[in-house]
């Protein structure tokens, strides 16, 4: 069977994180949404449908993938937002030709032989399938991923990582609780004084992860490939840290994507950080209101705050955003792509893409200066800011602002 994973228009619900990536590349637990779908359906070749504004950069980064390529053969199309488990997997596999699974009017999956090679037209063909209403869930908002992160670390450990022969054997000066609930990748380094407590959930240290002295990690937690946990860091349950990050201070129930740094003291809680984010020393965010009411969060499509339905919600930060030392960020704050924020005043509500300055007095970051800094940042990791990336950031840059 041919499988294609598709993004739909609800990608906008996950802005600013998905301004620069497919919905399928959102991480929850250990895996990204697309990776988890690939694993459940045993998909060996990545075939995806994504927005045309991301097509060029994805083809550059993943030349081996089939991106927005549709062929006329029996295909099951799967929404990248699908909340997958064994039962859902079987329901999708059982689809008959020209049938679709729907959830509250949204397509979860459809099986058909495409009559077009045009990406826009394929969605029209979905609507012509015989729809079957289902209770299968779809991810709707970024805070749902944060809230479910600990649960999915546990599920991913059980389904994809647990090996009875892969566990930590206690070494001198390192404290381990429940070693059979720990998975170590090749090349992991753990220094004296480290405490890893997996008694309430698994701890996964991926390949090349480095845990420096006196750090504490409480599961469920995931530390990505070649990431560093700094001296004395406190990593609490429900935290996923992607590859090549440097993290210190206190982190709780948060998701950090690749190449982002929070090296110093300061609290990060119930938050979602994109790539190439840097939080300055003693940056702190609030994740609980003083009156314990639900947190409202800025919603890009509607351009207003919406009720998250949860008491605990920190901040959402887009790619390449930086905060200065001693920055303080309020509950439920959304900060866009490419921002540079500093100053003593509390950052609240919503800070638009490419904002520069102090809270209440933002100007627009000059695009040429942003690209210059982004190039320097990537060069420190021996990477290059490609022309395709530059074009994407130019598209994101607010049209009403010029150099």
Return the pLDDT at 164.
66
Return the pLDDT at 93.
97
Task: Clarify whether residues 64 and 210 are in a common domain.
Answer: no
Where among 140, 165, 187 does a domain terminate? 140
| Contact status, residue 270 vs residue 146, Cβ threshold 8 Å | yes
Task: Clarify whether residues 237 and 304 are in a common domain.
Answer: yes
User: In angstroms, rounded to a whole number, what is the distance separating the alpha carbons of residues 226 and 229?
Assistant: 10
Q: What is the C-alpha R_g of the chain?
A: 21
**Closest C-alpha to 251, from 279, 271, 231, 224:** 271
Q: Do the domain assignments include residue 402?
A: no
Task: Clarify whether residues 150 and 84 are in a common domain.
Answer: no
**Cβ atoms within 10 Å of 256's Cβ, excluding its own:** 27
Return the pLDDT at 33.
98
Task: Clarify whether residues 66 and 134 are in a common domain.
Answer: yes
User: What domain range includes position 203?
Assistant: 144-396
Q: Do the domain assignments include residue 47?
A: yes
Looking up residue 288, the CATH number of its domain turns out to be 2.160.10.10
Where among 140, 174, 202 does a domain terminate? 140
Task: Clarify whether residues 102 and 191 are in a common domain.
Answer: no
Task: Clarify whether residues 159 and 267 are in a common domain.
Answer: yes
Where among 140, 174, 209 does a domain terminate? 140
Task: Clarify whether residues 261 and 242 are in a common domain.
Answer: yes
Task: Clarify whether residues 22 and 104 are in a common domain.
Answer: yes
Q: Do the domain assignments include residue 265?
A: yes
Q: For the residues of 199-265, what is the DSSP string, one character each?
A: SSS-EEE-TT-EE-TT-EEESSEEE-TT-EEPTT-EE-TTEEE-TT-EE-SEEES-EE-TT-EE-SS
Task: Clarify whether residues 260 and 326 are in a common domain.
Answer: yes
Task: Clarify whether residues 118 and 136 are in a common domain.
Answer: yes
Contacts of 103 (CB under 8 A, 6+ apart): 133, 134, 135, 136, 137, 138
Q: Do the domain assignments include residue 233?
A: yes
Task: Clarify whether residues 128 and 253 are in a common domain.
Answer: no
Q: Do the domain assignments include residue 44?
A: yes
As beta bridge partners, residue 229 has 211, 247
Contacts of 231 (CB under 8 A, 6+ apart): 212, 213, 214, 215, 248
Q: In which residue ranges of the chain is pLDDT below 50?
A: 401-403
Looking up residue 96, the CATH number of its domain turns out to be 3.90.550.10
Number of domains making up the chain: 2
Task: Clarify whether residues 275 and 370 are in a common domain.
Answer: yes
Q: Do the domain assignments include residue 203?
A: yes
Return the pLDDT at 172.
74
Q: Do the domain assignments include residue 401?
A: no
Angle between helices 86-93 and 33-41 (to 10 degrees): 60
Return the pLDDT at 401.
46
Q: Do the domain assignments include residue 10?
A: yes
User: Which residue matches tokens 């083809």?
Assistant: 59
């Amino acid at each position: 069977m041919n499988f294609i994973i598709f993004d739909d228009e609800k990608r906008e619900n996950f802005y600013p994180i998905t301004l620069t990536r497919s919905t399928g590349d959102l991480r929850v637990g250990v895996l990204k949404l697309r990776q988890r779908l690939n694993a459940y359906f045993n998909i060996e070749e990545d075939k995806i449908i994504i927005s045309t504004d991301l097509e060029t950069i994805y083809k550059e980064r993943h030349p081996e993938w089939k991106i927005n390529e549709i062929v006329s053969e029996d295909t099951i199309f799967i929404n990248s937002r699908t909340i997958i488990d064994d039962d859902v997997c079987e329901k999708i596999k059982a689809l008959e030709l020209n049938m679709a699974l729907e959830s509250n009017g949204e397509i979860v999956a459809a099986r058909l032989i495409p009559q077009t090679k045009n990406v826009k037209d394929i969605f029209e063909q979905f609507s012509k399938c015989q729809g079957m209403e289902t209770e299968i869930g779809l991810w709707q908002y970024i805070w749902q991923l944060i809230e479910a992160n600990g649960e999915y670390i546990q599920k991913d450990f059980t389904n994809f990582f647990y090996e009875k022969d892969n566990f930590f054997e206690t070494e001198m000066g390192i404290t381990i609780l429940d070693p059979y609930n720990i998975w170590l990748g090749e090349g992991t380094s753990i220094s004296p004084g480290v405490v890893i407590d997996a008694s309430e959930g698994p701890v996964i240290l991926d390949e090349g992860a480095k845990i420096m002295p006196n750090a504490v990690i409480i599961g469920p937690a995931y530390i990505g490939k070649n990431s560093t946990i700094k001296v004395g860091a406190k990593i609490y349950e429900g935290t996923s840290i992607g590859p090549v990050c440097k993290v210190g201070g206190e982190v709780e129930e948060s998701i950090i994507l690749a190449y982002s740094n929070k090296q110093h003291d300061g609290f990060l809680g119930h938050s979602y950080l994109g790539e190439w984010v840097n939080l300055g020393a003693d940056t702190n965010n609030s994740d609980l209101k003083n009156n314990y009411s639900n947190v409202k969060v800025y919603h890009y499509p509607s351009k207003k705050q919406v009720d998250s339905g949860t008491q605990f919600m920190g901040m959402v930060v887009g790619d390449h955003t930086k905060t200065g030392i001693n920055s303080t960020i309020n509950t439920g704050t959304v900060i866009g792509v490419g921002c540079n924020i500093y100053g003593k005043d509390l950052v609240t509500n919503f800070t638009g893409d490419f904002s520069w300055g102090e809270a209440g007095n933002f100007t627009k970051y000059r695009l040429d200066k942003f690209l210059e800094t982004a190039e320097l940042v990537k060069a420190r990791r021996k990477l290059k800011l490609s022309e395709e990336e530059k074009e994407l950031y130019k598209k994101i840059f607010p049209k009403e602002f010029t150099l």
